[in-house]
Amino acid sequence: MTPPHLPTSDRTALVLTGGGARAAYQVGVLKAAAEVLPKRAHNPFSIITGTSAGAINAVALGASANNFRLAVKKVEYLWSNLSVDQVYRAGYRDLLRSVFRLLVSLFHRGTGVRAPLSLLDTAPLAALLEGAIDFSGLERRLRGGYLDAIGVTASSYSSGESVTFYQSDIEGSALQPWQRARRRGVPTQLSVEHLLASSAIPTILPATRIGNSYYGDGALRQVSPISPALHLGAQRVMVVGVSGNPDRPPEVHHESHSPSLAKMVGHVFNSAFIDALENDMDHLTRINELVGMVQNEAPYADTGALRLVDFLCINPSIEIDQLVSRHIGSLPRAMRTVLNITGATPQGGGTSLASYLLFEGGFCRDLIACGYHDAMEQREMLEQFFQPHSAVSF
């Protein structure tokens, strides 16, 4: 099926990475993209893939792919008016109940009784997604050709694989399930369960059962965040990250004490949510350079499976952790107590952990504004990217 917005020879993908509340940054970038495009433009991406909270953004966009600007406005409204109680239960009683269940699990070989173990209960998030995302609309957009494919990545706790669940209306051999080392693609009908699984930060949010297996956050063991989009046929890729600019050297601080628990956990989360994307972008850049050299020297040479992939990558121009201290006070008191105890505060050096859990409107609006500013700073690159057959690498 030929999408009404792109020629089949120019399949453009949007890759939205994970990072809990940090994913609000992506909305600002998409808002800028919507302003660059004509007012009533259809979705400019024939393929959309998402991981963790980025998967929620991906499916929300896909469900309204017939009007890209309207789709972005819907997602912006959702994030701008978000509050913690819409995502997880964070009262003292809720947290004590979770701790009690963790203790009880010690007498059941470390497994949960009747429900998966986690610090936080995401029943409110399930209800929010059921009401906010029109999955039947997603199917209509795919059937109508506004979108070729959409993928949501989660991590299987049973096999250790990075599994991309994808939905498409394309028939034939164009989109076949794939199997690679520790990663595979599975065709399916996407649902709330896939979004909950993809965004289930380990130990913090509960694993979700899909079929016969439990799944957790898609960023876990995802060595190549761009790979699902390429398997789904992407020839050009726009990637929106959630970490600070990787080209800027990190600041080195003198530490007078050992790292807090929250700082160590945040470090682990960063390695899952951030490092894989940066490595993948480096890998893609090197492949493009190699293919470009071969084509320059021997234009008709066969490069096999290697091919040029034009891409545009937009990352935050600031360290998102810097915004946390401004908004951490908006969290429920019980949650602030937990963060203080574990050192997830500016004083404890563990603000990275807090940034993943700060699902509050003020924090999200600041991230949206940052994403919009960063994308508009690259407006020329953005406009060039949306020109058919343009070559952009950033």
- pLDDT at residue 249 tops 70: no
Residue 11 token pair: 């399949």
Residue 312 burial (C-beta neighbours within 10 Å; 0-12, 13-18, 19+) = buried
In which band, very low, low, confident or very high, does the pLDDT at 8 lie, cut at 50, 70 and 90?
very low
- Of 52, 191, 243, 352, the active-site residue reads 52
Q: What angle do CA 169, 239, 17 make, to 5 degrees?
A: 80
169 is catalytic: no
Considering the entire predicted model, what is its pTM?
A: 0.87
pLDDT of residue 348: 59
Residue 137 token pair: 């609309």
Half-sphere exposure at residue 156, Cβ-oriented, CA atoms within 13 angstroms: 17
- Of 118, 168, 199, 217, the active-site residue reads 217
Residue 221 token pair: 């063991």
In which band, very low, low, confident or very high, does the pLDDT at 279 lie, cut at 50, 70 and 90?
confident
Q: Enumerate the domain spans of the chain.
A: 12-248+261-386
Q: What angle do CA 137, 139, 140 make, to 5 degrees?
A: 65
Residue 204 token pair: 């913090």
Which residues, 6+ apart, have CB-to-CB distance to 314 below 8 Å? 29, 238, 239, 240, 241, 371, 374, 375, 378
DSSP state, 273? Answer: I
Q: Where does 12-248+261-386 sit in CATH, by number? A: 3.40.1090
Residue position matching structure tokens 């956050």: 217
Taking a C-beta distance cutoff of 8 angstroms, is the pair 165, 194 a contact?
A: yes
83 is catalytic: no
What is the rounded average pLDDT of the residues 63-91? 95
Residue position matching structure tokens 């453009």: 12
Half-sphere exposure at residue 154, Cβ-oriented, CA atoms within 13 angstroms: 30
| Rounded Cα gap, residues 127 and 200, in angstroms | 15
- pLDDT at residue 332 tops 80: yes
Residue 254 token pair: 């003198």
Residue position matching structure tokens 């669940």: 165
Which residues, 6+ apart, have CB-to-CB distance to 148 below 8 Å? 1, 3, 11, 46, 47, 142, 168, 170, 175, 232, 233
In which band, very low, low, confident or very high, does the pLDDT at 6 lie, cut at 50, 70 and 90?
very low
Paired strand residues for 87:
none
DSSP state, 89? Answer: B
**How far are the Cα atoms of 25, 174, 207, 247, 313 from residue 282, in angstroms, in the given order?**
22, 27, 31, 11, 11
Q: Which of 68-72, 264-268, 297-301 has the highest mean pLDDT?
A: 68-72
Taking a C-beta distance cutoff of 8 angstroms, is the pair 308, 390 a contact?
A: no
